[in-house]
Amino acid sequence: MAREDVLARLAELGFSEDDAGVLADHFLDAERRGKPSHGLVRVEWLASQSRDPRASARRVVAEPAFERWDGNGAFGYLTLAAICDAQLASPPARVRIVVASDAFPLGMLGYWVRQLASGGLVALLTSTSPRRLGSPEGGPPLAGTNPLAIGIPSSDGRPLVADVSMGRVTHGDVLLGRATDADLVPFGGEQAHKAFALAVGLQAFVEALAGGDSPGAVLLVAQPSADPVPALRALAAGVRLPGDS
Amino acid sequence: MAREDVLARLAELGFSEDDAGVLADHFLDAERRGKPSHGLVRVEWLASQSRDPRASARRVVAEPAFERWDGNGAFGYLTLAAICDAQLASPPARVRIVVASDAFPLGMLGYWVRQLASGGLVALLTSTSPRRLGSPEGGPPLAGTNPLAIGIPSSDGRPLVADVSMGRVTHGDVLLGRATDADLVPFGGEQAHKAFALAVGLQAFVEALAGGDSPGAVLLVAQPSADPVPALRALAAGVRLPGDS
C-alpha cells in the first residue's frame, strides 16, 4: 500500500492532512521494521475505535521538569506525536517527566523514543493498555501488555532503541490473526512471573501518576551526560543490539 | 544468625554502628522474604569487595527535580540508604530524578522502593552491575542483570512492589552455589531476546545519565496523583500481586 493510498484512506476516516501524515509514517515504519502488527492493519482498526479523528491533546501543566497532558479524546498516536514535538522544541535543562492521561492507542513505543533519541534526548516511555495479562498462577487479567521503551542517543548517529511488550504476543498479533486471545499471557515461559510483575508494576506506576480509568503513559526525557552507545556497539562486535535493523 | 551476631561481624569488617544496622536490616529482610541470594551470604562477600566501609556517598547536585550523587567509594547499600533517607526527608513537589554514579552493590532494589512507597512516594529504580548477560544470539556479555524495581504507595498500607532482574538467575544465586555462571543468561527462554533488550536498554540508560565506567543507578520519585493499588488488589481477588508475601 503506497503512502498516498494510506493518506487517502485516513482522510476518508476524517483525519486532517497533517495528522494523516503522522499516522501513515508510523504504520509504514512498522511495516519496514518487520512489525506488521503495528502497521497497515491498524488503518481500518482506527475506524473501530471510539475516538474523534479531529480531536487534539491538551497540555494542562507545563513546568520545567514536569508536564501533564490530557488526550482529550484524540487518537493516542497524535497525542504522543504532539508530546514528542513539544519535547524536541523545548528540551529539558536536565530531566522532565511527562504524564499523559487518555492516551490510547500509542502504536510502537520504540517509534517515539527513537524520535526523541534522534533529537539528542534520553527517553524512557511506558504506557498502559486494556487489561489482557493475568498472573501465571491464574485469575483475571490484571495488566495491559504495557511495553517499556528506552531510546539512547548515539554520536554514531544510530540511537539504541529497546522496546519490549510484557506479553508473549501483542494484541496486534491477534488483530493480524497470527495469535489468539489465549496467547495473550506474560512472556517468559517458566519465568513468566517476571514479565507479569513488570506488567503489573508498570500498570500501577502509570495509574498512580496519570490517574483515571483510561490508559495513560509516562515519559522521562533527559539530557545525556555520556555517550555509551558507540562503546557498547564496539563491545558487541557485530552482535545485533536492540532496535537495530 | 541473630541480628546482634550480624552487627558484630559487620563491626569487625569496619562498618560504623549505624551503617552495620542498615546492612543487617537489608540482609535479614532478604532472608525473611525468601531471597537468600541477597541475604546473609552477602556478609562475608562484602569483605571481598574493594570498597571502604567508612566511606559515605556525596550529593553533588541538589535541585528541586534533579539530584546527582557520587558513591565516593562507599558500599552501594549505604549510598542508596542515604538517597532514600534524603528523598523521604525532602520529597519532590511533583517528581525528581536521582542519578547515582559509583553505586554498587545495591542489594535488592525492591527493598529501597518499598521504603519510598511506604513513605508515600511512587518510585522506579534501576541500576547496572558488572556485565554478565550476552545476547541469545551469542557474543560477549553486554549488560548486567540490571533489575527494574517499582514501588507504589497504597492507602491499604501495603505498597505494591515489583522487582525484576533481567537474568534467569542472579549473581547471588551463583554466590550461593545454586547456579553457575553459565546460568547467567537473560530470562525468558525462547523469548530471552526481550529480557536481553531490557537489560541492554537499561544499561545504556543508566550509563547515559550517570556516566563513567562504574555501575550506577537511576531513581525516579514522584508524588502520586491516584491510589490504584486497592482496586488492583480487589480485581486480583486473592491472586498474589508482585512483592506480596
The predicted model scores a pTM of 0.98
Question: What average pLDDT does this structure show over B11-18?
Answer: 98
| Whole-number pLDDT of residue A170 | 85
Please indicate whether, in this complex, the C-beta atoms of B94 and A63 are within 8 angstroms of each other.
yes
**Over 90: is that where the pLDDT of B172 sits?**
no
Q: Count the neighbouring beta carbons within 10 Å of the beta carbon of residue A196.
A: 27
Closest approach of B124 to chain A, Cα-based (Å): 8
Which chain A residues are closer than 8 Å to B229 by Cβ?
204
Please indicate whether, in this complex, the C-beta atoms of A140 and B240 are within 8 angstroms of each other.
no
Domain with CATH 3.30.1370.60 in chain B: 55-236
Which chain B residues are closer than 8 Å to A188 by Cβ?
187-189, 191, 194-195
Q: Which of B64, B191, B228 sits opposite A187 (nearest CB)?
A: B191
Amino acid letter at A148?
L
Query: Searching chain B, which residue's CA lies closest to the CA of residue A191?
Result: B188
Which chain B residues are closer than 8 Å to A97 by Cβ?
94-95, 97, 220, 222
Going by C-alpha positions, the residue among A190, A195, A187, A196 that lies closest to residue A142 is A196
Please indicate whether, in this complex, the C-beta atoms of A241 and B203 are within 8 angstroms of each other.
no
Please indicate whether, in this complex, the C-beta atoms of A205 and B135 are within 8 angstroms of each other.
no
Query: Searching chain A, which residue's CA lies closest to the CA of residue B188?
Result: A188
**Over 80: is that where the pLDDT of B111 sits?**
yes
Does domain A56-236 match CATH 3.30.1370.60? Answer: yes
| Whole-number pLDDT of residue B31 | 96
Query: Which of the four CATH numbers 2.60.260.20, 1.10.1530.10, 1.20.120.80, 2.60.120.650 does domain B1-48 have?
Result: 1.10.1530.10
The beta-strand segments (E) located in A128-229 are 133-135, 138-143, 148-152, 160-164, 217-222
H or E element that contains B80: helix B76-89
Question: What average pLDDT does this structure show over B134-162?
Answer: 97
Question: What average pLDDT does this structure show over B26-50?
Answer: 94
Identify whether the C-beta of residue A198 lies closer than 8 Å to the C-beta of residue A181. Answer: no
Closest approach of A20 to chain B, Cα-based (Å): 31
Per-position DSSP letters for B16-29, written without gaps between them: -HHHHHHHHHHHHH
pLDDT band at B41 (very low <50, low <70, confident <90, very high): very high
Which chain B residues are closer than 8 Å to A62 by Cβ?
none
Amino acid letter at B67?
E
- Best mutation target among A150, A154, A185 (most B Cβ atoms within 10 Å) is A150
Query: Which of the four CATH numbers 3.30.1370.60, 3.90.1170.40, 3.20.20.120, 1.20.950.20 does domain B55-236 have?
Result: 3.30.1370.60
Domain with CATH 1.10.1530.10 in chain B: 1-48
Which chain A residues are closer than 8 Å to B204 by Cβ?
150, 152, 160, 228-229, 232
| Whole-number pLDDT of residue B121 | 98
pLDDT band at B134 (very low <50, low <70, confident <90, very high): very high
Residues of chain A with pLDDT under 50: none
- Pull the grid cell for residue A158: 544510530
Which residue in this structure is represented by grid cell 554514579? Answer: B101
| Whole-number pLDDT of residue A103 | 96
Out of A3-12, B200-209, B210-219, pick the least confident: B210-219
Which chain A residues are closer than 8 Å to B128 by Cβ?
none
**pLDDT over 90, % of chain B:** 93
Closest approach of A214 to chain B, Cα-based (Å): 12
| DSSP classification of residue A56 | -
- Best mutation target among A209, A220, A241, A244 (most B Cβ atoms within 10 Å) is A209
| Whole-number pLDDT of residue B35 | 93
| Whole-number pLDDT of residue A137 | 95
